[in-house]
Chains A and B, each alone.
Chain A
Amino acid sequence: MKGLSENERVWIARDYLKCSGCRRCEIVCSLSHEGKIWPEASRIRVFMLIPGVEVPHLCVQCHDYPCLKVCPTKALSINKQTEAVIVDKEACVACGKCIDACPGKIPYIHPTENYALICDLCSGRPKCVEACAAGRWNALEIIKKSDTHTFKLYAKTPEIITRDIASQIYGKKWRETV
Chain B
Amino acid sequence: MKGYAGKFLEVNLSSENVKETILDEEILSQYIGGRGLATKILWDKLGKNWERIEPLGSENLLLMLTGPLTGYVPGARLCVSGKSPQSNGVVGSTVGGEFSVELKCAGYDGIIFYGKAEKPVYLFIKDSEVELKPANHIWGKGSQETLKILVKECREELASRFPRRGLWKEPQIVYIGPAGEKRSRIAVVAAKWAHAAGYGGYGGVMGSKNLKAVVVKGTGPLPDVVDMKKVSTLINKILDINFRNIVFRRWGTGNLGHDVGSRISSEPVRNWQEEWHNEESYGSYEFEKYWVKRYWADFGCPTSCLKLAVIRSGPFEGAITDNPDYENQAYLGPNLGIFNAEENIYLTALIDELGLCGIQTGNVLGFAGELYEKGILTKQDLEGVELKWGDAKAFATLAQMIADRKGIGDILAEGTHRAALKISKLKGVDVSLYDVTEKGIAIGAHGIRSEEDYPGYESYACSVQAGDHTSVARIPLDHGNSELRSLLYDTGVFCWFNFFEKEAQDLLWPFIEAVTGWKITEKQWIETVGRKILHIQRALLLLGGPDMQWVPRKDDDVPLRWYIPLGAGPYKGKAVDRERLNRDRKEYYEAIGWDENGIPLPTELKRLGLKDVDRKLDEIRKPLPKY
Q: Which residues of A contact B (CB under 8 A)?
A: 17-18, 20-24, 27, 30-31, 34-41, 45-52, 94-96, 99, 105, 107-109, 111-112, 116, 134-137, 157-158, 169-171, 177-178
Contacts and interface: CB of A to CB of B under 8 A. Distances in A.
Contact of A96 (B165, B232, B295): B165
Given A31-B232, A95-B164, A169-B292, A39 B304 contact: no
Contacts of A34: 221
B166 A112 contact: no
Contacts of A157: 167
A169 B243 contact: no
A52 B221 contact: no
B389 to A, nearest CB: 31
A38 B222 contact: yes
Contact of A105 (B148, B167, B300): B167
A178 B148 CA distance: 8
B166 A107 contact: yes
B105 interface: yes
B420 interface: no
A30 B169 CA distance: 16
B121 to A, nearest CB: 23
Contact of B105 (A40, A105, A158, A178): A40
Interface string B232-245: 10000001000100
B234 to A, nearest CB: 13
A40 B107 CA distance: 13
A158 B317 CA distance: 26
A22 B297 contact: yes
Contacts of A24: 300, 302
A61 B104 CA distance: 33
A50 B149 CA distance: 11
Nearest to B168: A108
B320 A47 contact: no
A35 B222 CA distance: 11
A45 B308 contact: no
Contact of A134 (B147, B170, B239, B317): B239
Nearest to A131: B239
Interface residues of chain B: helix, strand, loop or mixed (majority): loop
Contacts of A158: 167
B219 A40 contact: yes
B25 to A, nearest CB: 22
Contact of B169 (A37, A40, A96, A135): A40
Given A27-B300, A52-B308, A99-B164, 11 more contacts: A20-B297, A22-B297, A35-B228, A36-B221, A38-B222, A40-B169, A96-B166, A99-B166, A99-B167, A111-B219, A170-B310
A23 B523 CA distance: 34
B312 interface: yes
A21 B165 contact: no
B98 interface: yes
B134 interface: no
B542 to A, nearest CB: 39
Interface of B: 71-72, 98, 101-102, 105, 147-148, 151-152, 155, 163-167, 169-170, 192-193, 218-222, 224, 228, 232, 239, 243, 292-293, 295-302, 304, 308, 310, 312, 317-318, 320
Most buried by B among A47, A49, A105, A109: A49
Given A52-B308, A135-B243, A21 B298 contact: yes
A52 B322 CA distance: 9
A107 B224 CA distance: 26
11 contacts: A20-B296, A22-B302, A31-B228, A41-B221, A49-B170, A99-B164, A108-B166, A109-B166, A135-B239, A137-B295, A171-B310
Most buried by B among A17, A23, A112, A158: A23
A103 to B, nearest CB: 13
A109 B165 contact: yes
B312 A171 contact: yes
Contacts of A177: 148, 152
Nearest to A158: B167
Nearest to A45: B169
Contacts of B243: 134-136
Contact of A169 (B155, B219, B293): B293
A31 B228 CA distance: 9
A101 to B, nearest CB: 12
Contacts of B228: 31, 35-36
Nearest to B231: A37
B437 to A, nearest CB: 31
Contacts of B105: 38-40
A116 B165 CA distance: 9
A37 B300 CA distance: 10
Contacts of B152: 177-178
A21 B221 contact: no
B295 A38 contact: no
A18 B155 CA distance: 25
Given A20-B304, A21-B298, A40 B165 contact: no
A176 B475 CA distance: 54
Contacts of B292: 52, 169-170
A97 B234 CA distance: 41
Nearest to B222: A37
Nearest to A35: B228
Given A23-B300, A37-B72, A109-B164, A48 B170 contact: yes
Contacts of A136: 243
Contacts of A35: 228
Most buried by B among A20, A35, A38: A20
Contact of B165 (A18, A108, A135): A108
A30 B221 contact: yes
Nearest to B292: A169
**The 4 nearest A-B residue pairs measured at CB:** A108-B166, A38-B221, A51-B192, A111-B219
Contacts of B308: 52, 169
A46 B166 CA distance: 14
B295 A20 contact: yes
Contact of B318 (A17, A49, A108, A171): A171
A175 to B, nearest CB: 12
A94 B170 contact: no
